[in-house]
A and B are shown apart, each in its own frame.
Chain A
Amino acid sequence: MTEKKEKPIQHPGYAKKPLSRRAFLARSGAAAGITAAAGYLSFAPEDWPLSMRDDTGLRSKPRVRPLTIRDYRVERPAHARDVGLGRGGTLEVRLRKCLDAMGGLDHYVKPGDIVLIKPNVAFDRSPNLGATSNPELLEALIRMILVDCRAQEVRVADNPIESPSDCFAKSGIRRATERAGGRIYLPDSNAFKMLNTPGARLIENWWFFHRPFTNVDKVIGLTPVKDHNLCSASMSIKNWYGLLGGRRNQFHQDIHNIVADLSIMMRPTLSILDGSNVLMKNGPTGGDPSDVKKGDTLLASVDPVAMDAWAYEHLLERGRDYPQYLFNAEERGSGRVDWSGRIKEMA
Chain B
Amino acid sequence: MPRERLITHHKRKVLRKRIPLAETLFGAVFIVLVGVATAWVLAQGDNFDPADRDISFELLQEQSVDAELYTPPVKPWVEPGAGSPLAGLPELESLPAGLLDSGWKLDGRVETYDESNVYEKINGAAEQYRSFGFVTLTYVTLLKGSEFINIEIYDQGEFKNALGIFSAQRAPGRRVLRQGEIYYYETPAGVIGGYRNLYFKIVGSSDADAIRAKAASLLELMSDLPAEPSAPPRAFTILTRDLGVDFDDLEYRRSDVFQYEFLSDFWFGAVEPGSESRWFIHQAADTGTARSLFEQLRAEQEYEYRIDGGGDGRVVMQHEFLETWFALDVRGSTLFGVEGAATRKDAEEALERLEEALGAGR
Question: For the complex, is A11 an interface residue (Cβ under 8 Å from B)?
Answer: yes
- Interface readout for B134-167 with A: 1 if CB under 8 Å, 0 if not? 0000000100000010101000000000000000
Docked-complex contact A186 and B55, CB < 8 angstroms? yes
Question: For the complex, is B76 an interface residue (Cβ under 8 Å from A)?
Answer: no
How far is the CB of B289 from the nearest CB of chain A, in Å?
A: 30
Residue in A166, A252, A285 whose CB lies within 8 Å of B108: A166
Docked-complex contact A125 and B65, CB < 8 angstroms? no
Q: Which residues of A contact B47 (CB under 8 A)?
A: 214-215
Cα(A234)–Cα(B123), bound, Å: 13
Docked-complex contact A166 and B61, CB < 8 angstroms? yes
Q: Which residues of A contact B2 (CB under 8 A)?
A: 6, 8-9
Residue in A161, A174, A211, A290 whose CB lies within 8 Å of B57: A174
How far is the CB of A292 from the nearest CB of chain B, in Å?
A: 10
- Interface readout for A267-307 with B: 1 if CB under 8 Å, 0 if not? 00000000000000111110111110000000000000000
Docked-complex contact A285 and B124, CB < 8 angstroms? yes
Q: Which residues of B contact A126 (CB under 8 A)?
A: 148, 189, 203-206
Please count the residue pairs between chain A and chain B whose beta carbons lie under 8 angstroms apart in the complex: 137
Given contacts A6-B2, A252-B127, contact A170 B206 (CB under 8 A): no
Q: Which residues of B contact A212 (CB under 8 A)?
A: 50
Given contacts A11-B13, A214-B50, A215-B47, contact A234 B124 (CB under 8 A): yes
Question: For the complex, is B276 an interface residue (Cβ under 8 Å from A)?
Answer: no
How far is the CB of B144 from the nearest CB of chain A, in Å?
A: 14
Docked-complex contact A211 and B124, CB < 8 angstroms? no
Docked-complex contact A8 and B65, CB < 8 angstroms? no
Residue in B49, B55, B203 whose CB lies within 8 Å of A287: B203
How far is the CB of B139 from the nearest CB of chain A, in Å?
A: 9
Question: For the complex, is A164 an interface residue (Cβ under 8 Å from B)?
Answer: yes
Question: For the complex, is A165 an interface residue (Cβ under 8 Å from B)?
Answer: yes
Q: Which residues of A contact B171 (CB under 8 A)?
A: 281, 288, 290-291
Task: Return the chain A residue nearest B63 by Cβ.
Answer: A165
Chain B: number of interface residues, binned into ranges: 35 or more
Docked-complex contact B64 and A166, CB < 8 angstroms? yes
Docked-complex contact B64 and A163, CB < 8 angstroms? yes
Cα(A282)–Cα(B187), bound, Å: 14
- Give the contacts of A102-125 with B (CB-CB under 8 A): 122-125
Docked-complex contact A289 and B192, CB < 8 angstroms? no
How far is the CB of A176 from the nearest CB of chain B, in Å?
A: 14
Docked-complex contact A125 and B150, CB < 8 angstroms? yes
- Give the contacts of B170-189 with A (CB-CB under 8 A): 171, 174, 187-189
Question: For the complex, is A228 an interface residue (Cβ under 8 Å from B)?
Answer: yes
How far is the CB of A120 from the nearest CB of chain B, in Å?
A: 11
Given contacts A126-B206, A214-B47, A289-B189, contact A184 B57 (CB under 8 A): yes
Chain A: number of interface residues, binned into ranges: 35 or more
Docked-complex contact B60 and A188, CB < 8 angstroms? yes
Question: For the complex, is A48 an interface residue (Cβ under 8 Å from B)?
Answer: no
Q: Which residues of A contact B345 (CB under 8 A)?
A: none
Question: For the complex, is B5 an interface residue (Cβ under 8 Å from A)?
Answer: yes
Cα(A248)–Cα(B206), bound, Å: 31
Question: For the complex, is A205 an interface residue (Cβ under 8 Å from B)?
Answer: no
Docked-complex contact A185 and B54, CB < 8 angstroms? yes
Cα(A11)–Cα(B5), bound, Å: 12
Task: Return the chain B residue nearest A131 by Cβ.
Answer: B125
How far is the CB of A290 from the nearest CB of chain B, in Å?
A: 5
Q: Which residues of B contact A123 (CB under 8 A)?
A: 122
Given contacts A214-B47, A215-B47, contact A125 B124 (CB under 8 A): no
Residue in B13, B51, B152 whose CB lies within 8 Å of A183: B51
Question: For the complex, is B169 an interface residue (Cβ under 8 Å from A)?
Answer: yes
Q: Which residues of A contact B150 (CB under 8 A)?
A: 124-125
- Give the contacts of B42-91 with A (CB-CB under 8 A): 46-51, 53-55, 57, 60-61, 64-65
Question: Which of B61, B64, B125, B207 is packed against the most chain A CB atoms within 10 Å?
Answer: B125
Residue in A163, A168, A287, A289 whose CB lies within 8 Å of B152: A287
Question: Which of B141, B152, B205 is packed against the most chain A CB atoms within 10 Å?
Answer: B205
Docked-complex contact B127 and A289, CB < 8 angstroms? no
Question: For the complex, is A56 an interface residue (Cβ under 8 Å from B)?
Answer: no
Docked-complex contact B65 and A166, CB < 8 angstroms? yes
Cα(A98)–Cα(B47), bound, Å: 34
Docked-complex contact B206 and A128, CB < 8 angstroms? yes
Given contacts A287-B201, A289-B207, contact A229 B127 (CB under 8 A): yes
Task: Return the chain A residue nearest B172 by Cβ.
Answer: A281
- Give the contacts of A142-188 with B (CB-CB under 8 A): 155, 161-166, 168-170, 174, 183-186, 188
How far is the CB of A108 from the nearest CB of chain B, in Å?
A: 22
Question: For the complex, is A32 an interface residue (Cβ under 8 Å from B)?
Answer: no
Question: For the complex, is A90 an interface residue (Cβ under 8 Å from B)?
Answer: no
Docked-complex contact A186 and B124, CB < 8 angstroms? no
How far is the CB of B284 from the nearest CB of chain A, in Å?
A: 29
Binding site for A on B (CB under 8 A): 2, 5, 8, 10-11, 13, 15, 46-51, 53-55, 57, 60-61, 64-65, 108, 119-125, 127-128, 141, 148, 150, 152, 169, 171, 174, 187-190, 192, 201, 203-207
Binding site for B on A (CB under 8 A): 6-11, 14, 122-126, 128-129, 155, 161-166, 168-170, 174, 183-186, 188, 190-191, 211-212, 214-215, 228-230, 234, 248-249, 252, 281-285, 287-291
Q: List 13 A-B contacts (CB under 8 A).
A: A9-B15, A126-B205, A129-B189, A129-B203, A161-B124, A163-B108, A165-B57, A249-B123, A284-B124, A285-B122, A285-B125, A287-B152, A288-B192
- Leading 5 A-B pairs by shortest Cβ distance: A126-B205, A165-B61, A249-B119, A285-B125, A284-B124
Beyond A170-B148, A211-B54, A228-B124, list 4 extra A-B contacts (CB 8 Å): A7-B10, A186-B55, A252-B119, A290-B187
